[in-house]
Structure 1
Amino acid sequence: MGDTMQPIYVDLASESDDPQVTEIDSLCLTCHEMGKTRLLMTKIPHYKEVILSSFSCDHCGNHNTSIQPGQYQELGVCYHFTVREEKDLSRQIVRSNHATVSVPELELEIPADSEKGEITTVEGILRRTVEGLSQDQSERRLYHREIAEQIEEFISKIEELLECKTDFTVVVDDPSGNTFIENPIAPQQDPYLKRKTYKRTKEQNALIGLNFEDPDEQEVAEKQDEDNEDEDETSVKDEVLIFDTICNHCSKPTKTNMKVTQIPYFKEVVIMATSCEGCGHRTNEVKSGGGISEKGKRITLKLTDPCDMARDVLKSETCEIEIPELGLHLGGGLIGGKFTTLEGLLMDIRNDLENNPFLTGDSSDNSRKAIIQKLIADLEQVRNGNLQVTIKMNDPAGNSYLQNLYAPDDDPEMEVEEYERSYEENEALGINDMKTENYEEESIDPGSSNLICS
C-alpha cells in the first residue's frame, strides 16, 4: 500500500508529478450564483507546504485567490521592515490569515483573521486598505459627513506613504510562524528588515487552534519518562533508533534514524537522518543534547589550505554564517541544523541559493540573478581551494562547533570566542521567560516533588 500512496503536497518544481487540482462548486458572494473553486496542495521550495485556493465566477467575473499554510511552525515570527523608497513597496509578502499587519506611523492595524492568507506586496496591502476605506464613502458624505472627512484624511496619509515622501515601518506579527517577507539583497543581511522568532503563549496557541494535552495525562507521561530515564539512557547512547515518519518532500511514509553521540572536545548531540525510498530525498538534522549553553559562541576560521574543507562542522539552527569577502550573510534558519564537513556546508549553501525561487526564479530580476550566479561561482572557488576567505559562525545558543585540526592544542587559523548574550538574543531563544532562580524543595518527604518560592 505504501508503494501506491500518492504524495499529498505536490512539489511544483517536480516534473514527474502532475498537479492534482480539485474543483468544487461554490456560491459567489457577489452575485449569489454558483462559481468554481480550485484547490491545489503544493510545496513552495524553501518555504513550506501550502494550500492554494482560486475562485472564479463566470456570471459576474468575480475572482480571488488565497493561500493557506499546511502546518504551523514551532515558533511565531515577527518582521519589522522600514520602507524608504519606491522599490520597497514591491517587497513580496507571504502572509497567513493569522498575521497582524500594522503601520505604527499611522496607528494602522489590520487584525488577524480579517483577511485570507495571500501572496502580496507592501503596496498591495496598503492599496487594499484604501479600497476598503473608500467603500460606502458616498453614503457617509450624505449622512455622516464628519466621519467621511476623517476617513478621507486617513486615506490621504496612506497615499502619501505610497508616494514614499517619508520613511515608515511595516510590522507583521504571525504567531503561526507562516509569514515571510522577501529580502531582495539575499544572501546578504538586509539592515532594514528585522526578523524575530518567539515562543507562543497559551493564548496565542488557543487563537490559532492548537490542541493541548490533558494535564493529568501529561503528568503521568512525565513521571513515566522520569522512571525510565536512568534505565534507557545507556541503551539509547549505544544504538541507532528507527521510527516511522513522513517525507517532507513527497509526503510518503519513510523512516528516520536517530543516534546520540559525543563530539570530541565539544558536547553530546542528537543526529537524525532520513532517506526516502519514494523520491530519493535525503536530510540530516542535528540537535544539541545539552540544551542552550550559558554563553553564545563566535568561531572565526581563515581558510589557508584545501585540507580545511575536510573539517567537521556542527551548525545548529540558531547559528549565523558570514563570509565577509563574498558579502555573504546567512541567518540560522536558512539551511537548519547540520552535521557535515566544511565542504558539505558550502555545497548546501550553494544548492540552497541555486534552488531558491525568490533569488533565481521568474520573480527575480536579472541584476539579482547575476549577483547570485557570481556568488555561486565564488563558493565553488572556495570549495576547490582556489580562493582564500574567512568563515565566521555566530551562535547565540553556543551549540555550534568547528573541528580543531590541532586539538588539544590551539588552532593558529581559528579563533573561538564565548560571549554574554544580549537581552534581545535571550528573548529570541525564549530564555527571558524561564524563571528558575530562588526555588528550593519544600520538604524531603519521599514521593513529594512540590517546590515553593523562597
Structure 2
Amino acid sequence: MCSVEQKPIFRDLSADDPEPEVTEIESFCVNCHANGITRLLLTRIPYYKNVVLMSFSCEKCGFENNEIQPGGAYAEMGVRWKLRVEEPTDLNRQVVKSDHTAVRIPELDFEVPAMSQKGEVTTVEGIVARAITGLSQDQEARREQHPEAARQIDQFIAKLHLLRMLESPWTLELEDISGNCFIENPSAPRRDPRCTRTDFARTAEQNHALGIFSHDEVQEYPAPPPPTSLVSPSTAEHSFEAMVSDEVLQFRTNCPDCNAPADTNMKLTKIPHFKEVVIMATICDACGHRTNEVKSGGGIEDKGVRYEVRVAGKEDFSRDILKSETCSMEIPELQLQVGGRALGGRFTTAEGLLGATAAQLADAPGALGDAPSLSRDGMAQFIAKLNEVLECKRAVTIVLDDPAGNSFVQSFSDDPDQPDDGLKVTRYERSFEQNEELGLNDMKTENYEQS
C-alpha cells in the first residue's frame, strides 16, 4: 500500500509552500448576473487563528470582492472587555473584533451592534475613527433634506472627536458571544491596570445565533446509524469501568491547530485525596502540534479554592499541581497574573507550570514581529526572572485561584489533615460574578422558573 503525505488543512503562507491549495468555484456575479470565479484559500494567521480567504472576480464586468471568515471553532464561552481610556497609549492598543463583537461607549450612549460590521484587526482610535467615517457619510445630502437630523449627527461627531483628543477619560466596552475578540495589554505580562476581561456562559438564544444546538434540541432529526466500529451496547455500560482499570482509550478527532485528522488518547485517573480526572493528549502527525488537557471527573464544587504555594528550593519543584481551565495563576513577587484559559487545564508540577508560563510568554505574539507591541527588553527581563526561579536563585509564591474548586495542589505532609509549611489552602464562597462566569446563575434561574 502506498501512503500519502498528510498535510495540515490550514497552512502558513511561506516560501516552502509556493503552491498553496486554492479552490476555485464558479459563482454568480451580483453586479452583472454573469458567472465569475470564487477562489478559496485556507491559511492561518500566526498566533491568532485559522482563516478562510475568499476572493471573487468577474471577467465580464470586472467586479471584485474579497472577504475573510474564521476557520476555527467558537470559544467555549463568550467574553466581555472593559477598557478605561485615560492615556494616549490606550488609543494605540490593538483590538481584534469578530463579526459577533458589539462595541459600546457608555459616556455617549453609543453602540455598534454585533453583526453590523465585518471582523477586523484595528486599534481603539481606529474604532472611533470608523464610527466617525460611518456617521459622516451622506451628511451633505442629509443637511439639505433633513437639516435637524444632520445637525444632531454633527454634534455627535464632535463628541467622538473629543474622545480621540482625550479631553476626558472614557470607557470602551466589547462583548462577543463567540469569544473571539481581544484588547492588547501593553503592560503584559503584568496585570492590565485599566482593562478587565470577563468570560460568561452563553444563553440558549446566543448559542442558537451561533448555530450551536444541544443534543436534546436536535433529537427531532433522525440520527444516522452508528458505525460498526463503535462499542457494542453490551459493553457500553462497562466503558467507564474500563477507563478506571488503567486502559487508555483512543478516538479520532481533528487537530486544534491545523484541523487535520489526529488521534486523542484519554485516560481516567484518580488523584489521591482529591477526585477522578480525565487526562487527554492529542498528537498531530500533520503539523506536529501537541496538546494536553485535564478535565475534572466531577461537577463544580460548592466552594471555590485558593492555593498559595511557596517555591524556594528544588524540593518544591516536584509538588504535583492540577490546574483546571477555570483556575487563574498569580505570582505577586513578579507582578504576574495569568487567566485560567491562558495555560489551559493541565496536570503537572510546580516546575512544569513555571516552565510552561515562560515558554508561552516567549512566544507571545505581541513580543514578536517587525513592530512588536510589547517591549522586547521588558519581556526578556521578565523571562530572565522566571528562569532565576527555575534555577532556585529567586523564591516566589504561586497563587492558584479556582472558583470552580476543581484544582488541586499536593501536600508534602504525610497526613493530609496536618498543615504543610509551604502550602496554604483557603476555601471561599463564590461571588455573583464568579457564579455568572461558571453559568451557575442561569442554572438557578432555570430551576426557579421550573419550580
Q: Aligning the two structures, in what range does the TM-score lie when normalised by the shorter sequence?
A: 0.7 to 0.9
Q: Is the alpha carbon distance of 1:216 and 1:357 closer, same or farther for their aligned partners in structure 2, counting shifts above 3 Å?
A: closer
For residues 367-394 of structure 1, the C-alpha deviation after alignment (integer angstroms, 9 at most, x for no partner) is 6221111111111111121211111111
Q: Give 2:198's aligned residue.
A: 196
Identify the match of residue 433 of structure 1 among 424, 438, 442.
442
How many residues are matched?
A: 437
Structure-to-structure mapping, 1:335-350, within 5 angstroms: 335-350=343-358
Alignment of 1:102-181 (within 5 A): 102-181=104-183
Residue 411 of structure 1 aligns with which residue? 420
Residue 229 of structure 2 corresponds to which residue in structure 1?
none
Structure 1 equivalent of residue 207 of structure 2: 205
In 2: Cα distance, 1:343 partner to 1:156 partner = 54
Q: CA deviation at 1:164?
A: 0.8
Tell me by how many angstroms 1:278 deviates. Answer: 2.9
**Whole-angstrom distance in 2 between the partners of 1:19 and 1:90:** 36
CA positional deviation for 1:15? 7.4
SS of 1:297 mapped into structure 2: strand
Question: Partner of 2:273 in structure 1?
Answer: 265
Partner Cα separation in structure 2 for residue 49 and residue 186 of structure 1: 24
The equivalent position to 2:293 in structure 1, one of 268, 285, 296, is 285
Q: Which residue matches 1:42?
A: 43
The secondary structure found in structure 2 opposite 1:358 is: helix
> Which amino acid in structure 2 is aligned with residue 236 of structure 1?
M
What is aligned with 2:365? 357
What secondary structure is seen at the aligned counterpart in 2 of 1:286? strand
Is the contact between residue 67 and residue 116 of structure 1 (CA under 8 Å) also seen in structure 2? no
The structural deviation recorded for 1:27 is 9.5
SS in 2 for 1:130: helix
**Contact 1:308 / 1:342 at 8 angstroms: preserved in 2?**
yes
Q: TM-score, normalised by structure 1?
A: 0.85
Alignment partners' CA distance in 2, 1:69 and 1:300: 40
Which whole-Å deviations, capped at 9, do the CAs of 1:311-356 have from their partners, x for residues lacking one? Answer: 1111111111111111211111111001112111111111111111
Offset, 1:437? 10
- The SS at the match of 1:157 is helix
3-state SS of the aligned residue for 2:118?
coil
**Partner Cα separation in structure 2 for residue 15 and residue 347 of structure 1:** 32
Structure 1 unmatched runs, 5+ = 440-450
Query: Cα 1:420–1:46, aligned 2, differ >3 Å: closer, same or farther?
Result: farther
- The whole-number CA distance in structure 2 between the counterparts of 1:97 and 1:207 is 12
Residues 102-111 or 207-216, more deviating = 207-216
1:100-158 Cα distance to aligned partner (Å, 9 max, x none): 11111111111111111111111111111111111111111112111110010000000
State the AA in 2 paired with 1:133. Answer: L
SS at 1:351 equivalent: helix
Query: In structure 2, do the counterparts of structure 1 residues 314 and 159 end up closer, same or farther at CA, with 3 Å as the change threshold?
Result: same
Deviation readout 1:204-240 (Å, 9 max, x if unpaired): 122223345454738999xxxx998864432221121
In 1, Cα distance between equivalents of 2:353 and 2:19: 32
SS in 1 for 2:405: coil
CA contact (8 A) 2:95 2:123 kept: yes
How far, CA to CA, are the matches of 1:297 and 1:220 in structure 2? Answer: 44
Distance 1:299 1:152, change over 3 A: same
CA pair 18-181 structure 1, distance change in 2 beyond 3 A: farther
| SS of aligned partner of 1:20 | coil
Following superposition, the deviation at residue 41 of structure 1 comes to 2.8
Q: Superposed, which structure 2 residues align to 1:22-61 within 5 Å?
A: 22=22, 40-52=41-53
Q: Distance in 2 between matches of 1:385 and 1:50?
A: 43
Percentage identity across paired residues of the two chains:
47
- Cα distance in 2 between the residues matched to 1:218 and 1:435: 27
Deviation at 1:35, TM superposition (A): 10
- 2:281 match: secondary structure: strand
User: Residue 66 of structure 1 contacts residue 118 of structure 1 at CA under 8 Å; is this kept in 2?
Assistant: no
Which of 242, 245, 251 is 2:259 aligned to?
Answer: 251
Amino acid at match of 2:101: A
Q: Provide the C-alpha distance between the structure 2 equivalents of 1:15 and 1:402, rounded to a whole number of angstroms.
A: 46
Distance 2:309 2:216 in 1: 49
Whether 1:308 aligns to 2:316 is yes
Deviation at 1:259, TM superposition (A): 0.8
Unaligned ranges ≥5, structure 2: 224-232
Partners of 1:50 and 1:339 in 2: CA distance: 31
Amino acid at match of 1:48: K
Structure 2 match to 1:276: 284
Question: Partners in 1 of 2:159 and 2:318 — Cα distance?
Answer: 57
Q: Which residue of the other structure, out of 336, 339, 362, is the alignment partner of 1:331?
A: 339
CA distance in 2, matches of 1:436, 1:146: 46
1:92 Cα shift? 1.0
Q: Secondary structure in 2 aligned to 1:101?
A: strand
Correspondence for 1:8: 9
Aligned-partner SS, 1:41: strand
Q: CA deviation at 1:362?
A: 3.2
Q: Which residue of 2 aligns with 1:420?
A: 429
Cα RMSD after superposing both structures: 3.6
**1:37: how far off?**
7.5
The verdict on how the C-alpha distance between 1:157 and 1:60 changes in structure 2, with shifts beyond 3 A counting, is farther
Rounded to whole Å, the distance in 2 between the matches of 1:30 and 1:205 is 34
